[in-house]
Amino acid sequence: MAANVSYKKKYEELLATHDRKGEQLRLLAEVVRTANSLLEPEALIAYIMERVQLLVRSEAWSLLLMDETGENLVFKGVMGSKAAPLKELKLRVGEGIAGEVAAKGRAMMINDAARSPLFNPEIDRLTRFQTRSILCVPLRSRGKTLGVLEVINKDGEEEFTEADLETATLFAEPVAIAIENAYLFQRIKQLSLVDDLTQLYNSRYLRQSLKVELIRGGRYHYPVALVFLDLDGFKQVNDRYGHLMGSRTLQVVGGILKGLVRNVDVVVRYGGDEFVIILPNTDVEGSRLVAERLRRSIAAHDYEASTGCAFTLSASFGIAVAPDHGDDPETLIQRADQAMYRIKESTKNGCAVYG
């Protein structure tokens, strides 16, 4: 009788393990399918962070990715009651448990974190959290480590097991590929919307961004200004110093414009020596002040110090403001352009508002 009870208990344990494995495999299949369809990195990371907890129950978990230098890990996804201070915090590769996993490309499972010589207590002090155990797996794609996934303090004060490590590793493999694909897609998308020479946005992005801003302005009842400018005397720079110097000059002017507007404003190289600036929530008087500030800065700039060649430049500015001068991208661009040409064909080096 005792033997039958023992066999029954083992059978029930095996059945429970089988069901648990089946659920994990179902979740992993869902992750692979969904993650590969998400091409926006932030949305993908949010999805990953949500699914980690379903696979390995824990108190906190985080996703760290290599920065552009390859020398630091940056917290890109953090979950847990005290995780907020970690967002965008950097850790050196090779330092701490996460840094060691990133450097070596091998997973680590530590069930007594405080005793590990790799454990960095500074993170706990920053978050006022007590780390007991850590499961950390590398995110590797195409032979390269992109970052790490950390799971901290298994629920119920239990220890992590080899089964947990296996699950986290299986989860990390498709996740890493999806992350790399999402960032590659973002980079390709960015390149299609950015001017190669000045690294400002291009005319394709102008129409997309202006359309969105006009919709938002209409919904929340605020004006959207468009400033169109054309450089005066740029042809002489090209003719006298050559097209390489002309290109360098456009980069300098782009830097002047970018440095004198708000973070919410959008600076665009429209084409040739023409630039456009979107000024959200800015009326006629506000946009005129911005245009005058930019005009004076372009005219007063020391181009010899920036380029090595002695010349002066100025610019003609035109302004159109939605909704008064139009409520669609093409109309607003056309009318700001018309206002600019009034200055271009008369005094140059000035600003005009459409109308």
φ, ψ for residue 36 (rounded to 5)?
-70, -15
Closest CA to 332 of 353, 350, 315: 353
The share of the chain scoring above pLDDT 70, in percent, equals 91
What does pLDDT average to over the chain?
89
The CA distances from residue 32 to 44, 63, 77, 187, in Å, are 11, 17, 18, 22
For helices 234-241 and 243-259, give the axis angle rounded to 10 degrees: 140
Collect all residues with Cβ–Cβ distance below 8 Å to 144 and sequence separation of at least 6.
Answer: none
Angle of CA points 296, 299, 300, to nearest 5°: 80
Please write the tens of the pLDDT for every residue from 55-89: 888 999 999 999 989 999 999 998 887 777 787 78
Residue 18: the pLDDT is 47
Structural domains of the chain, with CATH: 2-192 (3.30.450.40), 203-353 (3.30.70.270)
- Residue 42 pLDDT > 60, yes or no? yes
- Can you tell me the distance from the alpha carbon of 319 to that of 50, in angstroms, rounded to the nearest whole number? 47
Taking alpha carbons only, the member of 90, 98, 61, 93 closest to residue 77 is 61
The pLDDT score that the predictor gives to residue 11 is: 46
Residues recognised as catalytic:
273
Q: pLDDT band for position 244 (50/70/90)?
A: very high
DSSP 87: T
The pLDDT of residue 195 is: 93
* Tokens 């700001």 sit on residue: 336
For residues 226 and 279, is the Cβ–Cβ distance under 8 A?
A: yes
Cα angle for residues 206, 293, 285 (degrees, 5° grid): 75
Report the alpha-carbon distance of residue 111 to residue 160 in Å, rounded.
7
